[in-house]
Each structure stands twice: as C-alpha cells, then as structure tokens.
Amino acid sequence: MATILKHAVPKSEVAASLDQVRETVTGVIADIRERGDEAVRAYSEKFDKWSPDSFRLSDAEVEKIVASVPQQVIDDIRFVQDQVRTFARHQFDSLREFEVETLPGVRLGQKHIPVQAAGAYIPGGRYPLTASAHMTIVTAKVAGVPRVVACTPPIHGEIPAATVAAMHLAGADEIWLLGGVQAVAAMAVGTDTMRPVNLIAGPGNAYVAEAKRQLFGEIGIDLFAGPTEILVLTDEQADPFVCAVDLLSQAEHGPDSPAVLVTTSREVAEKTIAEVERLLPGMPTRDFAGPAWRDHGQVHVVDTLDELYALADEFAFEHVEVLTAEPRLALERMTQYGALFLGEGTCVSFGDKVIGTNHVLPTRGAARYTGGLWVGKYLKTVTYQEVTDTDSQTLLGRLCGRAARVELFEGHARSGDVRAAKAAGDELPWNTA
C-alpha cells in the first residue's frame, strides 16, 4: 500500500475547467469555418493583440529575422536539430517496405507514403519554445512531407526571432505568426490565404489541445495532449535535491502541470518536499511552478520496487525519470509511459531540449495506448495486391464466392465468380444475359 504524503486537487475540479475550454473552442472553430480569414484576424487581435498585413512571413522577412538572432543561438539550434534528425532517421530506417509472393502469382506489398501537408504548432504564449520546432518540423521532413506549415504566436506583440529561426532551419515551407485555436483551425479547415493540411502536430495549451481533439477525424493529429507531466521514481539512494530540481523543471511549464514523486524511501520523500519548498520562492517561473506543485504535485511512498513500478504504470505519465540504483530495470518492468529517463545523469529537460528524442509525448493517461510523436506519425502505411497467375485467380475467385455468400454479400461473391470464370471458365448462373 502506498502512503500519500501530498495529494493533488480532485479530478472533478480539473474536469470543470475543461468544460469551459471545450465550449470556447467549439465556437471559435465554427466561426472560422464560416468567416475564414476575417475570423482568424479577429481572434488574433482579441487573444494576441496581433494583426499584421499578412500573418505569413515572406522569405525576405524570415531572412531578416534569422539574421537578428545571435550566432551562438543559431549554432545551438543547428546542433540540437542534428540530434533530432539523426534519431528520426534511425526511426525511419527501422521501417521496412516489402513485397511478398504468398501464392503463385499473388503478390502483396507494403509501402510508406508521407502525408502531403503537415501543420506544426509551436507554442509561444509563455515561452519561445524553439525545441518544439525541432520536434515537429525536422521529424516531418525526415519522413518526406513535401509541405510543412509552421505556426507560432507572437509573444507580447513581438516576433519570437529565435523560434522563427528554428522553424526556418528545421525546413518549414511556410512560417505563420499565428497562434492559438485560430492557428489550429486555419491549418485544419483552410482559409482564402492558407491551404489546409492533412495532419497537425505539436504541443500547446488547453485550448490548442482541445482544438486538435475536436478537429481530429477531419485531419490527423499527433496525439491528444494535456499539461506536461513528470513522474520521478526513486529508492533510498536518490538525492532529494536532484528530485526537487527535476520536479520543478516540469512544473514551470504551467500551473496545471502535474509533478509526482513515487519512492520506496520516506526519508527521500520528506526531504524532497522540503527541497521543493526551499527552491520554489527563488524560481523566476514560480508563478507557474508554484500553483502546479500546490494543486497537482503528489508524493507517494511505497514499500517495494515492485509496488513502485506498478504504481508508475497506473500513472502512465509522459515523462518518467528513474533515479534508482538500477534504473534500467524500468525497461523490463514498465509498459505505460511516454519516455523513460534512466539514471541521475539523464533528466527530462535533456529530452525536452537537446538530446534528440521527440518531446511531443502522450499525457492524461494516453501512454496506455500510444507512444509519442515519431517519424512514423507522418507516414501512411499502405498495402497493394496483384494476382497474375490463373490458377491462383481461380482458387481465390471460388473461395471468395463461397466466403462472401456465408455473409450474404452477393455482390462480393459475384466479383469472385467473375475472376474464376475468366481464369477457368466457371459458369455464372446469376448472369442471365
């Protein structure tokens, strides 16, 4: 049994706030469907105080903005994008197209075709999240997506130059200074000035996540996303200071970001809580991290490592940091997570910013059925079939006729009958002509 030293707010309170988000997003999407660019501009003015002559940056504007970014920032962006690109290419290389002959003259095949247009949403309301450009755009380009539309909002009425540079260097074909629901809806349904995309990827606030949820089906999305989550797993040898720093590293994403510690050591638990309380007042991002820890922070103490891993799988969090004596045991014992960060030398922030794995990961328990964004998300795995041998055509035609009639699908059966008739001269009693 786990002992809970710190509870989160009831789930009912979280659900109530989401109801208001859902209603707002529904109205915005409906308005953009009806009024197009006019509505997009109105919402950009309302939410971001931003209404330029064109939301899309020209090539000349992009070049000027990129030139204003310090060289060290450009060099760092290039380095991180190289890491993301390398990992995505290894993912791509792990996928296999094939063609196999299952019967004489019966060839079945599989191909991977990239979606033809993808939207990349790069958040920016609180912070210029350059890393999200790497994760969404670089990965799409490795998959072979020919058209990538990238949207990011202005920050306090200013152009986020480093983000624009990251979008450009990642390979975006179109860069739009447009944020929120209006950006997601415009990419999904299209307007007079923006052609629609087939799939939208990238993190965002509750409104962006809800817009993607409502538009899913009309377009593809990477995954259903919620607030950033971190789960830290420890035994008695973990450093409470490191635990506290890492919990707060994710809590600063927003006031609704869960930060959870599960440990086999009550001493580590109590010292971690004390370190969090000590560090919080001095954090520049305490306005976000403080409410996140207060309302969504949890600390659980369990008796054994078996209980620790079992409880971790129940959480099914996106980020799981394993600070135990044998962290690689988690690879064998856990099945429900977005990404594992193994050992004290690794941290979630590496995954967020620099190491090369994708940071767009499942939240709100979605790790129970999906992993995070990867190169395969931008690919459609399709099949093809070909029958060229008359004996196989006869065999399959007769079998199709019998199998379809068991299900009372006479039309299907007749398609099979015709193939057997063409190949072997079978009679067609249903053909009275």
For residues 151 and 356, what is the distance between their CA atoms, to the nearest angstrom?
Answer: 22
For residues 327 and 347, what is the distance between their CA atoms, to the nearest angstrom?
Answer: 13
Integer-rounded Cα radius of gyration of the chain: 26
Gap between the terminal Cα atoms of the chain: 77
| DSSP H/E element including 123 | none
Tokens, residue 307? 């209980």
Is-catalytic flag, 319?
A: yes
For residues 281 and 311, what is the distance between their CA atoms, to the nearest angstrom?
Answer: 30
Three-class secondary structure of residue 389 per DSSP? coil
| DSSP H/E element including 405 | helix 390-406
Beta bridge partners of 176: 56, 151
For residues 184 and 202, what is the distance between their CA atoms, to the nearest angstrom?
Answer: 10
Is-catalytic flag, 318?
A: yes
178 contacts 44 by C-beta, under 8 angstroms: yes
313 contacts 336 by C-beta, under 8 angstroms: yes
378 contacts 143 by C-beta, under 8 angstroms: yes
Catalytic option among 229, 318, 321, 344: 318
Phi, psi of 335 (to 5 degrees): -130, -10
For residues 302 and 214, what is the distance between their CA atoms, to the nearest angstrom?
Answer: 39
Helix residue ranges per DSSP H, 8-103: 11-35, 37-48, 59-67, 71-94
Beta bridge partners of 387: 106
Catalytic option among 319, 321, 344, 359: 319
Distances (CA, A) of 332 to 18, 193, 337, 369, 375: 36, 50, 13, 18, 25
Exposure of 373 in the CB half-sphere (CA atoms within 13 A): 34
For residues 80 and 135, what is the distance between their CA atoms, to the nearest angstrom?
Answer: 10
Which residues participate in catalysis according to the annotation? 318-319
